[in-house]
Amino acid sequence: MTTCDLCDLPTPDPPVEGDDGSFCCRGCLEVADVLGDVEPPEGSIREALGVEQDADRSSADGEAVFLAVDGMHCGTCEAFLEARALNAEGVLDADASYANDAMRLVYDPDQTGPERLSAAVSGTGYRAHERDDDTDRGGDDALVRFLIGGGLFGMMAMVWYVVFLYPTYFGYEPFVDLGGLDGLYLFAQLWLLTTFVLGYTGLPLLRGAYVSLRARRPNADLLVAMAATGAYVYSTIAMLVGRTDLYFDVTIAVVLVVAAGNYYEGRIKARAAGLLSDLAVARVEEATRISGDVVPVEGLTAGDEVVVRPGERVPIDGDVVDGVAAVDESLVTGEPLPRTRRPGDSVRGGTVVTDAPLVVSVDEDATSTLDRLLDLLWSIRTVRPGAQRVADRLATAFVPVVALLSIAGAGGALLTGADPVGAALVGLTVLIVSCPCALGLATPMAVSAGVKTAAEEGIVIASGVAFEAAPEVDVVVLDKTGTLTDGRMAVESVTGPPETLARAAAVERLSAHPIADAVVEAAAIEEGSDRRRTERSRANGGVAVASPEPVGSVEVHDRGVEGIVDGERVLVGHPKLFERRGWTLPEDVLTTATTVRNRGSVPVVVGTEGIAEGVIAVGDVPRSNWDAVVERLTADGREVVVLTGDEGAAVDRFRDHPDVSEVFAGVPPEGKAETVERLRARGTVAMVGDGSNDAPALAAADLGIALDSGTELAADAADAVILGDDLTAVSRTFEVAAGTNRRIRENLAWAFVYNAIAIPLAIVGLLNPLLAAAAMATSSVLVVVNSSREP
């Protein structure tokens, strides 16, 4: 079996041939012709699919499993978990992505399985589980750590400092004899309280530092942990040798400030994510055999016949063996118009039967198109690494420098005659001033403010990647159905006698077809307007006009319906239905129907007593502000590309817009992902979509933006989700992200300006740890104030 050279789907017989190979459809051919073949970037869809890879990097030698992993927060976590997984028995390959909290493992099924792999990856603060496992994640753990470790024990320790130690720093006599048993009792309590704060509240910080060392990739956690543990170790040794200059307060301050920032960021993100709780789940788990038995989808085998009733999703790919029905394929193709499927036609798993039952025979491969999309999505998500935070990138180079400066400062103090304790103080001071809390707060505080601002404007930031990628976007790819358009069928115009729409609706009320729903909805709106006009007419002495009486039953035909309305026979449907039924089609009606079809809409012909009298145009209406959004994106210096699974006249209106550089039509979901990959050769790519068919492309893009009017799968794949249907929020997403990114860089700049001043003072002995801690607190306050400004 040959496969498409763009999306790797099976090709028809004969395939669609082009200069660059064989393709499954003309949409893939057009993408290949325009974009050509490019070297896939790191983490590309080709890597996710195992195309053109070494054997040991492909799932061909084993089975692949996708795990969700709780606890990842930086690129260092990716490297650590990949190394841990590769050390497990039977694991052939491992890819992790902290941005998506996901991991892909290729394993030998003869040696291990998913449950053992989850256990092998879990530990050290990480929890791996299969992607369908929705058990509790312990989301309140951070709050407990902060309130108990910080709010209780940390504040108790700080009270002892304020009452007994801080006065001595200003020359006052201590309330107790710090050199006697009272002092020993006080210091022991401080040590115990600080140990709890560092070991409990600071555990995520220490874990991040440990992972950083194990992965040999220094990050911001390691930088801040050096200051906290340095002050703790020095103070512990000083206490044991009888000194009273203890800096446990520095350890507590560092841990609590960073923990507060991370907790605040997590709460804001969780609150924003909660706005997505009403999205629908579309996956089918059970199927009904023709015998009436309900079985799990995975229990179906080739040749099994299943019944799919109106309103149900087709559970698995197959062929129709009985029945004729309109099938809504928008979930997996993006096309808004249902397709009529008859015996012998193929149907895709995940599509919806709308108006009549079908009997479907399961294909030999027994797979679901929707499940394939889900697997493709997870493949892309796990192969694509998360963008490393700016603070972590700086820490990679800064940590070794800090360590050398601390050692150099202590060594210099020894060479100039300082005692070992004094030299250690110099080294500790350098550590503290070099690892300010401002560095640990720079990203979480700015991100939290950005997430909050976005949420207030109806934008949910699902991944920190949005803040780093959005300002760099060069190409914006827009899906058509549900993004540039409303994504549902609606009446655009009515031609014919005044009662045309009302008569059609009276017949269509008993039909479950999406076009029927559009006609009925439009008639209800018109009827409401007529009722108000009638009431005004009656008030002025006019005569009311009665609406057509609904029919008791209808006769459903292929491509239309028929019934009795007010004693007259009414036929509603496709022009060819009128020809088959022998009804007269006047030339003006045919001309109107052709015009409607040529502009990409569906002509619904309405006739009475053997003669066609009117035409209702039904289509997927473009959003009212789509052209303004495109113009705004172009004005900001970004290229706009339209990518859709739909084709024909419905797409042409977007080709004609001067600010749309290219339109790729008729592209399947797998082809959409590869199109995004090829566009990445032009620069940073953002994808905006709403349907499950867009999910692989959303995940493949550098930045994915989904509309919540779509599916859960699309929202799950995106880095940002727009609540509601206001397309202008796309531009606002870029603005909020750019402002947040600017705040992050300003915060980091302040942190390093502080370092440039404080480090030399610490090295020459002009700062002690207490003054360093005070300066550090001041820098942290400035970071918080800067982050709270409007992005």
596-646 residue pLDDT tens: 988 888 999 999 999 999 999 998 888 888 989 999 999 989 999 999 888
Residue 549: the pLDDT is: 58
758-791 residue pLDDT tens: 778 877 777 766 676 677 667 777 777 777 776 5
Among the listed residues 9, 122, 111, 118, the one whose alpha carbon sits nearest the alpha carbon of residue 65: 118
- Cβ neighbour number for residue 700 with a 10 Å cutoff: 31
The C-alpha atoms of residue 296 and residue 569 are separated, in whole angstroms, by: 45
Residues 6+ away with beta carbon under 8 Å from 151: none
Residues 6+ away with beta carbon under 8 Å from 56: 92, 93
CA separation, residue 388 to residues 50, 128, 656, 672, 719 (Å): 24, 21, 40, 26, 15
The residues with which 568 forms a beta bridge, in sequence order, are 565
Of 328, 479, 517, 694, the catalytic one is 479
User: Is the distance from CB of 600 to CB of 336 less than 8 angstroms?
Assistant: no
Residues 6+ away with beta carbon under 8 Å from 454: 272, 460, 461, 720, 733, 736
Answer whether residue 536 shows pLDDT above 80.
no
Answer whether residue 655 shows pLDDT above 60.
yes
The C-alpha atoms of residue 374 and residue 283 are separated, in whole angstroms, by: 9
The whole-number average pLDDT for the span 211-216 is 81
698-711 residue pLDDT tens: 888 888 888 876 55
353-393 residue pLDDT tens: 887 899 999 877 656 655 666 666 656 555 554 444 566 66
Residue 641: the pLDDT is: 95
- Half-sphere exposure for 720 (CA within 13 Å, toward CB): 34
Active-site residue 646, yes or no? no
776 phi/psi in degrees, rounded to 5: -65, -40
Percent of the chain scoring above 90 in pLDDT: 15
The C-alpha atoms of residue 586 and residue 159 are separated, in whole angstroms, by: 93
Higher pLDDT, 435 or 155: 155
The whole-number average pLDDT for the span 573-587 is 92
Residue 376: the pLDDT is: 61
For residue 688, give both structure tokens: 């905006």
The C-alpha atoms of residue 755 and residue 406 are separated, in whole angstroms, by: 13
Report which secondary-structure segment, H or E, holds 209: helix 203-215
By residue count, the chain amounts to: 791
Confidence at 56, pLDDT banded by 50, 70, 90? very low
Cα angle 167, 169, 171; round to 5: 75
The C-alpha atoms of residue 637 and residue 496 are separated, in whole angstroms, by: 46
Percent of the chain scoring above 70 in pLDDT: 77
- Cβ neighbour number for residue 522 with a 10 Å cutoff: 20
For residue 9, give both structure tokens: 């789907």
For residue 268, give both structure tokens: 């804001």
The residues with which 288 forms a beta bridge, in sequence order, are 294, 307
Angle of helix 420-434 relative to helix 729-763, nearest 10 degrees, comes to 160
Answer whether residue 537 shows pLDDT above 50.
no
Q: Which of 405-414, 453-462, 734-743 is predicted with the least confidence, judged by mean pLDDT? A: 453-462
Beta strands (DSSP E) in 19-84 are: 21-23, 63-70
444-462 residue pLDDT tens: 777 777 877 887 888 888 7
Select, from the ranges 48-62, 126-140, 203-217, 762-776, the one with the highest average predicted confidence (pLDDT).
Answer: 203-217
Among the listed residues 344, 352, 348, the one whose alpha carbon sits nearest the alpha carbon of residue 322: 344
Residue 388: the pLDDT is: 46
Quick one: residue 366, left, alpha or beta (phi over 0 = left, psi -120 to 50 = alpha)? left
The whole-number average pLDDT for the span 188-209 is 89
Cα angle 635, 335, 518; round to 5: 100
The C-alpha atoms of residue 378 and residue 106 are separated, in whole angstroms, by: 13
The C-alpha atoms of residue 534 and residue 757 are separated, in whole angstroms, by: 80
Q: What is the mean pLDDT of the chain?
A: 78
Residues 6+ away with beta carbon under 8 Å from 742: 791
Confidence at 431, pLDDT banded by 50, 70, 90? confident
User: Is the distance from CB of 706 to CB of 718 less than 8 angstroms?
Assistant: yes
Q: What torsion, rounded to 10 degrees, do the Cα atoms 94, 96, 102, 103 define?
A: 10
The C-alpha atoms of residue 741 and residue 336 are separated, in whole angstroms, by: 37
For residue 728, give both structure tokens: 């202008």
Angle of helix 769-787 relative to helix 437-456, nearest 10 degrees, comes to 20
- Cβ neighbour number for residue 175 with a 10 Å cutoff: 13
CA separation, residue 39 to residues 52, 377, 664 (Å): 11, 21, 20
Report which secondary-structure segment, H or E, holds 115: helix 114-121
- Cβ neighbour number for residue 411 with a 10 Å cutoff: 13
The C-alpha atoms of residue 491 and residue 783 are separated, in whole angstroms, by: 54
Cis peptide before 14 (omega within 30 of 0): yes
User: Is the distance from CB of 493 to CB of 522 less than 8 angstroms?
Assistant: no
Residue 616: the pLDDT is: 95
